[in-house]
Amino acid sequence: MTDLTSRLHRRRAEILTEIDEVEIALGELRAERRERSDDDEHDPDGTPLSAQWSRLEGRRRAAAADLVAIDDALSRAEHGGYGICERCGRPIPVERLEVRPAARRCVDCASR
């Protein structure tokens, strides 16, 4: 279980790095957007800024959701309930937790 907790912490650090990277990229894009005129937005050679923007926003949303799930798992690891399926109450196999450390349900329940 300690192994899994350190996995959660590692995953959390990765997510924070990802959020940092996305924030920096969004900042650069914002600056670039200010510099470009509306015509440049349709530059055929480059990906439109709006497309880059929505891709980054998607990454940010996904990372934020992951972070919530990891924090929730860490809190359960500390206060109890971690690794127990919230639906059927059976232990979630370690193999599953190794792949998805923030899983709240066993495979059976998750697929229902």
Give the binding site for Zn ion (CB under 5 A).
85, 87-88, 106, 109
Q: How far is CA 5 from the centre of its chain?
A: 17
Q: Least CB distance from residue 86 to Zn ion, whole Å? A: 8
For Zn ion, give the closer residue by CB, 9 or 96: 96
For Zn ion, give the closer residue by CB, 25 or 107: 107
Q: Least CB distance from residue 95 to Zn ion, whole Å? A: 15
CB atoms near residue 101 (< 10 Å)? 24
Q: Least CB distance from residue 89 to Zn ion, whole Å? A: 7
For Zn ion, give the closer residue by CB, 61 or 87: 87
- Select from 112, 97, 92 the least CA-distant residue to 11: 97
Return d(Cα 12, Cα 22) in angstroms, integer: 15
Q: CA angle 53-58-64, nearest 5°? A: 125
For Zn ion, give the closer residue by CB, 51 or 88: 88
Hey, what are 40's tokens? Answer: 């440049």
Q: Least CB distance from residue 37 to Zn ion, whole Å? A: 56
Return d(Cα 112, Cα 100) in angstroms, integer: 17
